[in-house]
């Protein structure tokens, strides 16, 4: 089996960089990156500056246009489909064309992934999403993730998933993300896994359990249910409390809260630069505002209907601790914002924000990865949207091993 990848919602290339670092022969044959409504496609241009553009089967450059406009049949065949897609509203309704058809909400990117799978039938898929995916929406907990699982089940895939905190497995950031690994039921990997017990897959023999070890589980704590095949049934009625680990086999899903065997992380001190430019330091007259933003609050507010309530939030470390990994980086990183990291510079003792290179290091990218002509604001934004590269390399090692068996 060849080692070819198609990367959807590629951002600045985190998936590709993660697999490249394996040096094991993976080749990305096509990618897509498009920010709707943006005049300048910063992430796409950054990706192209590192890797060049990719052509579809018709010889056309289609990676710089909306994925919804792409003919999925023209995407090259591939072994592994990857992508980090946003958590959106995955509900569906009857289509206007008849009761047997369904339509998801316009602009929801999961349906572009599903259309790609239908057209190309890749043996393996690896996706990334936010951790709240498992619990959304608030009014019907588990529906959105249930919709994804139902789609994959109907397309003849088994699925394993895991919520991974990057810092617990040796990285520099306390970033929790949901990872989904799906594999076609005609693969040797499926044939091997289907003969294993559910508890062994969650405990030691599954894709994520091998790459990201956990403590011995209590199989009595595994929750099990059937996922409906009818997507309308999932959309209207499915509810389920998903835990941080799970396995879908032939329509039956199993989930369990696992306890990670934690590894020593990279701490914030280890990623800091010396001789940082003055522009990153906080001025004396800004300290009052920063102290207020980072502090705890209890504020009385009035809702639109006249109801009074108290808005409260706890304190954020100010400055951020040197001896811990960084907090989850958001797209607002680098702005005057409660979520922005602030450190006491080890060489000057003065408070400052992180540099763009330090933001890249939090995500495990190479230094100056985003230094491709975009502004610092855009560099922070792209990193806030990115994934943790070393996690992808680690998953890639697992995929390398199972590809050998194919």
pLDDT band with cut points at 50, 70 and 90 for residue 89 = confident
Across the range 291-300, mean pLDDT stands at 90
Spatial separation of the C-alpha atoms in residues 300 and 21, rounded to whole Å? 51
Q: What is the mean pLDDT of the chain?
A: 93
Q: Hey, where are the domains in the chain? A: 4-263+388-405, 274-354
pLDDT band with cut points at 50, 70 and 90 for residue 69 = confident
127-137 pLDDT per residue, tens: 999 999 999 99
31-48 pLDDT per residue, tens: 999 888 888 889 999 999
Check: CB of residue 90 under 8 Å from CB of residue 147. Answer: yes
Token pair for 308:
């009074």
pTM of the model: 0.94
**Is CATH 3.40.50.150 what the domain over 4-263+388-405 is classified as, yes or no?**
yes
Please give the C-alpha separations between residue 191 and each of 157, 194, 247, in angstroms, as whole numbers.
12, 5, 15
Check: CB of residue 244 under 8 Å from CB of residue 257. Answer: yes
Q: What integer pLDDT is reported at residue 297 of this predicted model?
A: 86
Q: Catalytic site residue 382?
A: no
| DSSP letter assigned to residue 257 | -
Q: Which of 46, 87, 151, 382 is catalytic?
A: 87
Check: CB of residue 198 under 8 Å from CB of residue 209. Answer: no
Across the range 363-381, mean pLDDT stands at 97
Please give the C-alpha separations between residue 87 and each of 41, 83, 355, in angstroms, as whole numbers.
21, 13, 28
Q: What integer pLDDT is reported at residue 378 of this predicted model?
A: 97
For 95-102, the CB contacts below 8 A with 24+ separation are 102/231, 102/232
Measured in Å, how far apart are the chain's first and last C-alpha atoms? 6
pLDDT exceeds 70 at position 251? yes
261-292 pLDDT per residue, tens: 999 999 999 999 999 999 999 999 999 999 99
Length of the chain: 406
Check: CB of residue 193 under 8 Å from CB of residue 206. Answer: yes
pLDDT band with cut points at 50, 70 and 90 for residue 305 = confident
pLDDT exceeds 60 at position 54? yes
Among residues 49, 86, 52, the alpha carbon closest in space to that of 370 is found at: 49
Across the range 6-13, mean pLDDT stands at 95
Report, in angstroms and rounded to the nearest whole number, the Rg of the chain calculated over CA atoms.
22
Return the ∠ at Cα 142 (arms to 138 and 143), rounded to 5°: 90
Across the range 48-77, mean pLDDT stands at 78
Across the range 56-77, mean pLDDT stands at 76
């Amino acid at each position: 089996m060849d080692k070819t990848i198609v990367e959807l919602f590629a951002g600045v290339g985190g998936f590709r960089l993660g697999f490249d670092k394996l040096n094991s022969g993976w080749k990305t044959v096509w990618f897509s990156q498009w920010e709707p409504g943006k005049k300048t496609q910063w992430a796409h241009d950054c990706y192209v500056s590192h890797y060049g553009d990719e052509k579809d089967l018709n010889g056309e450059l289609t990676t710089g246009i909306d994925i919804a406009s792409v003919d999925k049949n023209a995407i090259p065949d591939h072994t592994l489909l990857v992508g980090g897609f946003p958590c959106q509203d995955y509900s569906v309704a009857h289509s206007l064309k008849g009761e047997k058809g369904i339509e998801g909400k316009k602009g929801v990117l999961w349906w572009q992934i599903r259309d790609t799978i239908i057209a190309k039938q890749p043996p393996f898929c690896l996706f990334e999403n936010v951790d709240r995916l498992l619990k959304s929406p608030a009014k019907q907990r588990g529906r959105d993730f249930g919709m994804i699982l139902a789609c994959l089940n109907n397309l003849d895939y088994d699925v394993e998933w895991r919520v991974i905190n990057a810092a617990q497995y040796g990285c520099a950031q306390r970033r929790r993300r949901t990872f989904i690994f799906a594999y076609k039921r005609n693969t040797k990997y499926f044939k091997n896994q289907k003969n294993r017990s559910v508890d062994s897959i969650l405990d030691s023999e599954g894709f994520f359990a091998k790459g990201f070890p956990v403590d011995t589980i209590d199989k009595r704590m595994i929750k099990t249910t059937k996922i409906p095949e009818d997507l309308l049934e999932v959309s209207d009625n499915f509810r389920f409390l998903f835990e941080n680990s799970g396995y879908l086999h032939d329509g039956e899903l199993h989930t369990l809260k696992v306890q990670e065997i934690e590894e020593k992380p990279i701490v914030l001190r280890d990623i800091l630069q010396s001789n940082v430019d003055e522009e990153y330091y906080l001025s004396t007259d800004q300290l009052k505002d920063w102290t207020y933003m980072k502090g705890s609050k209890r504020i009385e507010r009035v809702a639109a209907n006249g109801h009074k309530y108290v808005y409260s939030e706890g304190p954020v470390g100010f400055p951020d601790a040197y001896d811990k990994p960084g907090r989850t980086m958001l797209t607002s990183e680098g702005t005057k914002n409660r979520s922005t990291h602030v450190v006491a510079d080890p060489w000057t003792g003065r408070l400052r924000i992180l540099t763009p290179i330090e933001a890249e290091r939090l995500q495990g990218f190479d230094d100056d990865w985003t230094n491709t002509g975009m502004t610092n604001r855009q560099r922070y934004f792209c990193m806030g949207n990115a994934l943790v590269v070393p996690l992808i390399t680690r998953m890639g090692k697992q995929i390398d091993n199972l590809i050998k068996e194919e």
